[in-house]
Structure 1
Amino acid sequence: MKFNLTLCCSLLLLQSFAQTTNNQTKITELLENYFHFDRENIHVQFNKSIYVNNEDIAFKGYISNKTTHLPEINTTNVQLVIYNEQQQIIQKQLLYAYNGNFEGGIHLNDKFPTGKYFFHFYTNWMNNFIEDESFIQSIEIINKNEPYHLKSKQPNWETAKIALFPESGIIINETSNKVGVQITDCNKKGIEIKDGTVINSKSEIIARFSTNAMGNGFFFFIPVVNEKYTVKIKSDKINLSQPIPNTQYSGITISYNNNLANNVLAVIIKTNETGVKLYQNKKFNLVIHQNKNLIQKEFAFENNQPEQIIRFSKLNLSNGVNTIRVIDEDLNEISQRLIYINTSSKPITSLEAKSIKKDSISLSGSSNIKDANLSISVLPKDNINTAQNTSIIGTFYLNSYLAQPEKETYSYFDPENKNQKQDTELLMLNQLQNKYKWNDIKLNPPKSLHPFLQGTTISGKVEKKINPNSKYKVSLISLKNKIFLETTVNENNDYKFENIFARDSTTFFLQLTNEKNIPVYSKMTVRIFKPNSKTISPRTWDTIICPLSQKEEVFTFSNSNKDVINLDDIIIKNTFKKTNLIHKEGNNFATAYKINEKEFGSILDFLGRNGYRTGYNPTDNSVFIKNRMSDIVRNTDGTPDVFIDDVIIYDLNLLNNYNIEEVDEIYIDKMGSSGFSTGGNGIIKIYLKAGTNKDFLKTKLTSFVLTNGFSKAIEYKNSKFENQKELDYFGILDWSPNIEIKDNSTFEIKFPKENQKEIKVLIEGFSNDGQLISEIRNLTIPSNP
């Protein structure tokens, strides 16, 4: 029997080709399956980062699709959970997003103690993924009654430490290795050093390195197994040493040249002589990908060459962080490396500030992008908040792919930073890995178990017996919010309204109509699906409190009662005007309240501030009003009689339709002496202002209050400070969260000058086609001509 060598070689080649082709197909399928479901990116700009506890916190959020990088128009429900430093939940809000944008805020008060607070933003859809896709921003709140230590711009030298990052995670014997170095303090602030050294066990210097302003650097060296190497840094401020990880006999590392002409990327796969022998006759796939967008190529260590160079066009790669992986024949990951690809052009923006008369500033701007939505915060030049640390570009294209997100990203995308590319490449070296792990990609593709929540769902049952064949309908009505929806009643007397977008504490009415569209009264039960998504466990954050530096300036706020001027002669003029109560007659035994413009909130809020317990019953979402002392003194839980314009109301939900601004007078008689009290629990009489809509009072429909709806937007106001220094350090001049640019048009905002000669403008935003803007501009205010 003759042996056909040619045929055998051909079969082996075909088998090898088939295996390679099959592996490449499998890799493509794995990535497509793992990133089949679209993921969201969230970035939030706060108007500043340090607040006195009598100010308003305001923020603007942006949501993009992680695959298309376009605004995520499908997201409407964004959950916010606020934590303190002890990771205790302080507050929750459900925020309404539209066309990839949302905004919100909170009014601070003296109940917020000094400390750091963490704002955690996420959606219910994010629960489908094992990776954390949420966004966390830390802010600081300070009590103006306590001294405040201004943060030093210098690192905390005493807490400096070294971290080492061998390229691809390993150090290989008897070949040139690249090792990243990172030096930071307890605040994760990078430390720049000029002369670091690498020594062997004989204390001989075998390499030198430096670090940049972010604390990142690198060095090359050729190690041998069983030798000990140490990184040393010694200066007048720090004295540190860190052992280098042990050298491996063999392995595979990944390097690259990202600076070639014509958008060419050269990837270098490297081993040593031991590795060449170990990997003979083995095929590998080099994969570069971001999400499911990938390019791949087969390679082998042929001709006894320990280095293989493979070139790609960067035009086929996605903008931002990409992952380079070496995958073996069994689809195991052998090596990994991160790379940042920058293929996008930056929008061109212009800003100009000028004085208007003596008391105002006009800020005008334009951009070459179309259909953009921006948020702008304007601060005094000396404000301690002006060191912007985060960037929407850094969130969407950098941190969203890192296992350990960077605390400060703005420097890597600062137009004024001439070393952006070098700094970004050093950052990529000093990262452990992509947050999307290969074993998860192989074995744990996500499942759609948590839906995209859009608004809330209201459902229930009609108590009236209805013929199963009849076509009864239920209407959902909110007169104040101009909502009128209809749905059919099914054979089980059930009704359902889905995707209801309404603010928290909105009063709704339900009306039943028959086939002839004639209203028919019937009680109806109400079930409200809580749209608050499942709470995502937030990323753990550092709770290390850095020691105070002696060089830190201590700032003390002014006390309005501190400076008192004694006058020799005081003349007092009585300017008191008697309050004109219109409805006092007949309410002589009641405490009267004339509502003025200083009052705020709802009627329930007002009653809660004046001796009552108010809220919503968890069982049926109905309003309750109770005397605070009723349970203790009378052993009852009665409700006072409530009148609006001298007409008793039996449905307390109707109160929720009115804000306190629509009320003229309120009379509270807790003993019921001013009239007949049906339940003996007192009387509350409310008189509305002339012209207020009273249609709410005429209905006899089933009512309920929607709880757990979207949070009401705050009416943001700048706080006043006692003196110019406080304003310059902590104040804000203007916050404009919704600036729209249409067809290259300009925009203009105006705000009080507050004696400012220079200002800092913080701009963030994105356009409908996914272009991002993130800039800080320093502007001088020209004097009036």
Structure 2
Amino acid sequence: MNIKNTLFLSIFFLFSNLSFSQAELNQNKEKISNAFTEFFKMDRENIHLHTNKTTYLSTDEIWFKGYILEKKSRKPYVATSNVYITLIDGTGEKIKTHLFYAENSVFDGSIKLDENTQTGTYYLQVYTNYMNNFMEDESSIYEINIINPTDGKMPANTNSKNFSVVNTEFFPESTVFLEGTSNTVGIKITDCNGNGISIKDGEIKDAQGITVTNFTTNELGYGKFDILQTKNEVYKAVFLIETKSIEKALPLPTANGITFSVNNYTFENKTTLKVKTNANSLNEYKNSPLTLVIQQNDNTSFVDFSFKENAPEQLLVIPGTDFSEGINTLYLIDKNAKKIAERIIFKPSKTNAAIDLKILKKQNDSIFISGKSALAMGSISVSVLPNDSKSLSDQKNIYTSFLFDNQLNDKAPKGNYFLSNFSKRKHYELDTYLICQKSKYSWQAMMSAPPQKKFDFDNGLTFKGTINKPLEDKKSFKVQLSSIAAGLNEFSEINDKNEFYFKNILVSDSATVHFSLLDKKERKSEIKLFAQILNNNRPFIKPFKVAKTECPTEINNSTDDTNYSFPKIANTVRLDSITIAGKVKKTPLANERRHNNSMSKGYKITEADSSRDLLQFIAANGYDVSIQGTSVIIIGRRATSFLGTRSPAIYIDDAPVMDFSQLLGYSLNSVDEIYINKNGYGGGMDAANGIIRVYSKKGTGGARKIKINSQSFTVKNGFQNNKNYINPKYTSYSDEGFKNFGNIHWEPYVESDENGLFTFAIPNYYQKTVKIVIEGIGTNGDLISEIKTIAVP
């Protein structure tokens, strides 16, 4: 073979190998992209809970607002409706679970505490049934303290440093601690409660006791250091806690592998990455294709490179456009898509300007406040507390929930430490913290185990029933589900098994609904059935793990200290109304003792009323009545329920009226008494818009005129009914108890306009300064979270 042919074949094989290698890389990239797309194909809900404070008395009510985002889009997620909140004690025992209705990506509500609740640490876990589809825990956890003023105890102060146990952990950058090259190592030093310990003069010593480098840690306990030309020996960290010397050995370096260091905080819109190997590994990896995978959810980008002869380091400069805003995970993989190393970094997003608050005016007993935020057309929640309140600790805010906790394996530090007044220095500290963190999503799982849909995406409640009598022609019948109070009038067919289903039903807990059997001509016949709700008690299947403390149990058994005075609440009885009248002899009411009628206003119908009909009477006594053809609509003049209509519950001789059209032409001539309870006291959830009870004169057959063949069903574990926030009736707004644990106001729904302007009002409790906690989200996913102190003139 001549030289010309030999040269031709050499070039041919060289380009063939390069083409084959590039083809393999492209196949790997396509495989990885497809795997990530499949893994994150299903929507993942992330929920943040803004509570009105973090420490409660056992006589308190926990008030909150929930914000829902979809993980991939990071936009408000309007599809979610069924949200569960479980109250869990310090041992992990579930105390109670409530179901809340979310609409347009938000929800609000409250949880009433049992006055006998013991002092201690508790948790609120927020989840949906759909979250059970994922191997990762997508629920949200919020730690709160509850104090029972009568048990003589206070929660242990876990925020104060306790050096009885000191924990030291090491985190090699990219998870690889490699001998024969330089290594960056993150360090975390905490006390027995997990509080960070700040170290100013730490040393790293080699096996001979020689100091090779120094380190410091910040107030959260995080720091990092470099070891140049790492040897195969045991290094140790040495530092002082007060006067005690602490030593902790590092793990042994590994003999083979690749490590890398990242810097994305020095240069704007540019990330530098130094990839390093040692002499032992260079022969294995030289000229072999390697890929850096940059991943956030289903977003990926790739950087290809390889080690050259005698060059164990590679410097990569990556443009900022290759990263998504927020948490990004970097995976270094070989040509077989095997993970070699990984690292988490944070790409900053735009920083929202601080919220500006000012007092507009005082009027009567209210203070009106205006605000300017970065949220155009945003949904905002506001908590107002005394300035020196002990009820508010460094709570997890909306930034922590949606930027860190939904991506990291461990929960981020509370509060807004990293993002408040964000700067290059803060970015450096955040990057140091992220060296010590892992992604919630493992490479192996994303590449091989996409989630399978096994749990439903609940939207409302599903009723299932079985009719307990034979029906010859099932197609000739249907079942009606109705409730005037809940605004329900739904119909279902009957299947071959005598079963019927109603889906996507919104109804409050403890409400009563009615089932009726209708034939082809809409006539109701007697019905006997068994009914149940299929999806009102969805457990979260992943075990709840309480963070263990290594500290000795500390409970302050004294409440005599004025620092722990509690607010005093007046013992009051709420009266519906007080009527003062002259001494006029009234005709006694015969049905006043029936069905809480004593809480209603009773009317004895006289001959003077006989020319009127029932609808006219109802319209004259506080309700709006409209007639459209044969349809009758009756609504109260104030909204009191978050579900259903504003219609009252109406009974004729204690039989529920499910169709108001049956009241057309109903003359008062046959009526003996009418009771109107506008507040619905004593009537449960069904009576949120009031109760009207009509009793017929004896012998008129009034009740039989509208008798309805139906079977009632009381909803258990339905949606919690929303309530307006009501402050306890404090006896004093100036004593230490109120300043420590009192509430001033909670406003879950404040809306900003297109310019980010909003207003709200708080009661005037004559405080010189107040603390205001504001959180919110915009329609585009922008977030705000800030604690402001303002002076009250």
TM-score (norm 1): 0.81
Helix, strand or coil for the counterpart of 1:762? strand
Change (3 A) 1:238 1:506: farther
> Structure 1 stretch 143-152 or stretch 280-289: which is displaced more?
143-152
Residue 75 of structure 2 corresponds to residue 66 of structure 1: no
Q: Which residue of 1 aligns with 2:619?
A: none
Residue 565 of structure 2 corresponds to residue 557 of structure 1: yes
Distance, in Å, in 1 between the alignment partners of 2:713 and 2:555 is 56
Distance, in Å, in 2 between the alignment partners of 1:738 and 1:428 is 35
The residue type equivalent to 2:342 in the other structure is Q
Distance, in Å, in 2 between the alignment partners of 1:246 and 1:519 is 80
Change (3 A) 1:462 1:67: same
Q: Which residue of 2 aligns with 1:507?
A: 512
Of residues 111, 129, 137, the one that matches 2:134 is: 129
Q: Which residue of 2 aligns with 1:306?
A: 312
Q: Offset at 1:90?
A: 0.5
* Partners of 2:771 and 2:787 within 8 A in 1: yes
Q: Which residue of 1 aligns with 2:105?
A: 100
* Partners of 1:662 and 1:692 within 8 A in 2: no
Helix, strand or coil for the counterpart of 2:417? helix
Q: What does 1:349-368 correspond to in 2, within 5 Å?
A: 349-353=355-359, 356=362, 360-368=366-374
Change (3 A) 1:721 1:10: same
Q: Which residue of 2 aligns with 1:413?
A: 419
Q: What does 1:379-390 correspond to in 2, within 5 Å?
A: 379-390=385-396
Of residues 269, 278, 281, the one that matches 1:263 is: 269
Residue 199 of structure 2 corresponds to residue 193 of structure 1: yes
Residue 750 of structure 2 corresponds to residue 739 of structure 1: yes
Q: C-alpha offsets along residues 37-76 of structure 1, whole Å, 9 cap, x if unaligned?
A: 1111111111100011111111111110000001111111
Q: C-alpha offsets along residues 647-688 of structure 1, whole Å, 9 cap, x if unaligned?
A: 57799xxxxx999954699xxxxxxxxxxxxxxxxxxxx9x9
Change (3 A) 1:581 1:136: farther
* Partners of 1:379 and 1:761 within 8 A in 2: yes
Change (3 A) 1:252 1:206: same
Q: Which residue of 1 aligns with 2:720?
A: 711
Change (3 A) 1:190 1:722: farther
Helix, strand or coil for the counterpart of 2:42? coil
Q: Which residue of 1 aligns with 2:177?
A: 171
Of residues 354, 370, 375, the one that matches 1:369 is: 375
Q: Offset at 1:741?
A: 1.6
Of residues 9, 16, 23, the one that matches 2:14 is: 9
Q: Offset at 1:424?
A: 1.2
Change (3 A) 1:471 1:342: farther
Of residues 274, 283, 287, the one that matches 2:280 is: 274
Change (3 A) 1:521 1:257: same
Q: Offset at 1:101?
A: 0.7
Distance, in Å, in 2 between the alignment partners of 1:552 and 1:209 is 41
Of residues 30, 34, 59, the one that matches 2:35 is: 30
Q: Which residue of 1 aligns with 2:769?
A: 758
Distance, in Å, in 2 between the alignment partners of 1:70 and 1:589 is 54
* Partners of 1:150 and 1:552 within 8 A in 2: no
Distance, in Å, in 2 between the alignment partners of 1:409 and 1:463 is 57
TM-score (norm 2): 0.80
Q: C-alpha offsets along residues 338-369 of structure 1, whole Å, 9 cap, x if unaligned?
A: 00111334255321136626854332112242
* Partners of 2:389 and 2:742 within 8 A in 1: yes
* Partners of 2:566 and 2:741 within 8 A in 1: no
Q: Which residue of 1 aligns with 2:450?
A: 445
Change (3 A) 1:659 1:332: farther
Of residues 112, 115, 125, the one that matches 1:110 is: 115
Q: Offset at 1:295?
A: 0.3
Q: Offset at 1:97?
A: 0.9
Distance, in Å, in 1 between the alignment partners of 2:690 and 2:755 is 46
Q: Offset at 1:152?
A: 7.9
Distance, in Å, in 2 between the alignment partners of 1:156 and 1:312 is 43
Distance, in Å, in 1 between the alignment partners of 2:656 and 2:507 is 24
| Structure 2: unaligned runs, 5 residues or longer | 570-579, 602-649, 658-674, 696-701
Q: Which residue of 2 aligns with 1:80?
A: 85
* Partners of 2:262 and 2:273 within 8 A in 1: yes
Residue 467 of structure 2 corresponds to residue 458 of structure 1: no
* Partners of 1:475 and 1:484 within 8 A in 2: yes
Q: Offset at 1:188?
A: 2.0
> Structure 1 stretch 524-533 or stretch 28-37: which is displaced more?
524-533
User: For the aligned residues, what is the CA RMSD?
Assistant: 3.8
Distance, in Å, in 2 between the alignment partners of 1:363 and 1:588 is 47
Q: Which residue of 2 aligns with 1:637?
A: none
| Structure 1: unaligned runs, 5 residues or longer | 562-575, 598-643, 652-656, 666-685
Q: C-alpha offsets along residues 106-156 of structure 1, whole Å, 9 cap, x if unaligned?
A: 222322110111111111111111111110111110011225368486422
Distance, in Å, in 2 between the alignment partners of 1:691 and 1:770 is 45
Of residues 340, 345, 352, the one that matches 1:334 is: 340
Q: What does 1:522-561 correspond to in 2, within 5 Å?
A: 522-544=527-549, 546-547=551-552, 548=554, 554=561, 555-557=563-565
Q: C-alpha offsets along residues 598-646 of structure 1, whole Å, 9 cap, x if unaligned?
A: xxxxxxxxxxxxxxxxxxxxxxxxxxxxxxxxxxxxxxxxxxxxxx999
Distance, in Å, in 2 between the alignment partners of 1:663 and 1:334 is 67
> Structure 1 stretch 383-392 or stretch 119-128: which is displaced more?
383-392
Q: Offset at 1:271?
A: 1.4
Helix, strand or coil for the counterpart of 2:773? strand
The residue type equivalent to 1:95 in the other structure is F
Give percent identity, aligned residues only: 29
Distance, in Å, in 2 between the alignment partners of 1:103 and 1:306 is 57
Change (3 A) 1:107 1:517: same
Residue 431 of structure 2 corresponds to residue 425 of structure 1: yes
Q: Which residue of 2 aligns with 1:486?
A: 491
* Partners of 2:329 and 2:343 within 8 A in 1: yes
Residue 760 of structure 2 corresponds to residue 749 of structure 1: yes
Distance, in Å, in 2 between the alignment partners of 1:581 and 1:448 is 70
Of residues 221, 237, 247, the one that matches 1:231 is: 237
Change (3 A) 1:182 1:716: same
Distance, in Å, in 2 between the alignment partners of 1:581 and 1:441 is 81
Distance, in Å, in 1 between the alignment partners of 2:762 and 2:74 is 34
Q: What does 1:586-665 correspond to in 2, within 5 Å?
A: 595=599, 661-662=679-680
Change (3 A) 1:298 1:363: same
* Partners of 2:400 and 2:416 within 8 A in 1: yes
Helix, strand or coil for the counterpart of 2:131? helix
Distance, in Å, in 1 between the alignment partners of 2:80 and 2:682 is 41
Helix, strand or coil for the counterpart of 1:713? coil
The residue type equivalent to 2:106 in the other structure is N
Distance, in Å, in 2 between the alignment partners of 1:18 and 1:379 is 63
Residue 477 of structure 2 corresponds to residue 477 of structure 1: no
Q: Which residue of 2 aligns with 1:293?
A: 299
Distance, in Å, in 2 between the alignment partners of 1:378 and 1:308 is 54
Distance, in Å, in 1 between the alignment partners of 2:359 and 2:191 is 38
Change (3 A) 1:396 1:664: closer
Q: How many residues align?
A: 697
* Partners of 1:353 and 1:363 within 8 A in 2: yes
* Partners of 1:147 and 1:557 within 8 A in 2: no
Helix, strand or coil for the counterpart of 2:25? helix
Q: C-alpha offsets along residues 294-314 of structure 1, whole Å, 9 cap, x if unaligned?
A: 101221111322222223322
